[in-house]
Amino acid sequence: MEKRLSAAIGEEVWSRSGLGSSIDVEDLHRQILTLEETNADLRLKMEDLEEELAAARANNRELMTQFNAKGRAPR
């Protein structure tokens, strides 16, 4: 009884001290996997948005070229 009580008190003190690891490693692995999947999804979305931005910039350049060409034409 004394040994069990001593062990229980020791574990409680160790846990409260912040030195002990009461974190479930499996939970951390699941969280890491979830974050990696989220990161991959966000990278794909970012690539899509970068492509859209590049297309919009190219369109803008073309429109500005057309606009400037009209301004130079003799009347």
Residue 20, pLDDT score? 57
Residue type, 44: L
Structure tokens given for 59 = 């369109």
Structure-model confidence comparison of residues 43 and 16, the more confident one: 43
Q: What is the pLDDT of residues 43-64, one digit of tens each?
A: 999 999 999 999 999 999 999 9
Residue 46, pLDDT score? 98
User: How far apart are the C-alpha atoms of 36 and 40, rounded to whole Å?
Assistant: 6
Please check whether residue 59 is in contact with residue 66, taking contact to mean a CB–CB distance below 8 angstroms: no
Q: Which helix (H) or strand (E) holds 23?
A: none
Statement: residue 23 has pLDDT above 80: no
